[in-house]
Amino acid sequence: MQASDSIKIIPMQQKHIVDINKTNEPFTVFGRLVPCLHHDIWSYEEELFDTPHDIQFPDDHLNWESYINQEDKVIFMAYLGKACIGQIRLVKQWNKYAYIENIAVCQSHRKSGVGRQLFNKAEEWAKKKQLLGLSLEAQDDNLAACRFYIKNGMVLGGVDTMTHAFNKNIDKALYWYKTF
């Protein structure tokens, strides 16, 4: 399947709210990104786990209506026909970056270009709003996501060891940026 041939990326409207958590499917955790700060420059290595495992985030329960037709936030939904296969949720931040709150693609459409299309739409939205770039936070043990962010031009801008201190499986929160 060529994702660009048949996928429609549209702003979420009231009728799409029923689809918002459909993209919340399991994903495989197979390694972590290990960051290192040296002379104010971040570098990183990959550490692969001996035993990969699947995890799934709990469904989000937000006020979805608050994202509809707003100037400072939006959710773009990816549809293949009538099936929701992906979404990206953005919020304009105080630092003039568009913060990606969530990006998710259904398992059946991962690695088909849908994530890239959603990321491109986020860039387009941020540029239209005259923002400086995109930012997001990812867990260090989500190596697939980190690889995706790197592939799409994001750079590691910071690390926080306390954000997920309550979760024994997550060592660090990684903060990624793409400046325009």
Beta strand pairing status for 83-92 and 73-80? antiparallel
Q: Which of 27-41, 69-83, 129-143, 158-172 has the least mean pLDDT?
A: 158-172
Q: Give me the mean pLDDT over the 8-22 stretch.
A: 97
pLDDT tens across 67-76, in order?
999 999 999 9
**How does the average pLDDT of the chain come out, rounded?**
94
| Res. 5 pLDDT band, cuts 50 70 90 | low
Query: What is the distance between the alpha carbons of residues 38 and 55, in angstroms, rounded to a whole number?
Result: 32
3-state secondary structure of 54: strand
The predicted pLDDT at position 24 comes to 94
Give percent of the chain above pLDDT 70.
97
Decide: 102 and 132 in contact? Cβ < 8 Å: no
Count of CB atoms within 10 A of residue 43's CB?
10
Predicted model pTM: 0.93
Domain assignment of residue 134, given as a range? 3-179
| Res. 171 pLDDT band, cuts 50 70 90 | confident
Domain count, the chain: 1
3-state per-residue secondary structure call for 41-59: EEEEEEEEEEEEEEECCCC
Return the DSSP state at 107.
Answer: G
| Residue 146 scores a pLDDT above 90 | yes
Q: Residue 38 sits in a domain of what CATH number?
A: 3.40.630.30
Beta strand pairing status for 97-105 and 133-139? parallel
pLDDT tens across 105-139, in order?
999 999 999 999 999 999 999 999 999 999 999 99
| Residue 169 scores a pLDDT above 90 | no
3-state secondary structure of 164: coil
Query: What is the distance between the alpha carbons of residues 155 and 151, in angstroms, rounded to a whole number?
Result: 10
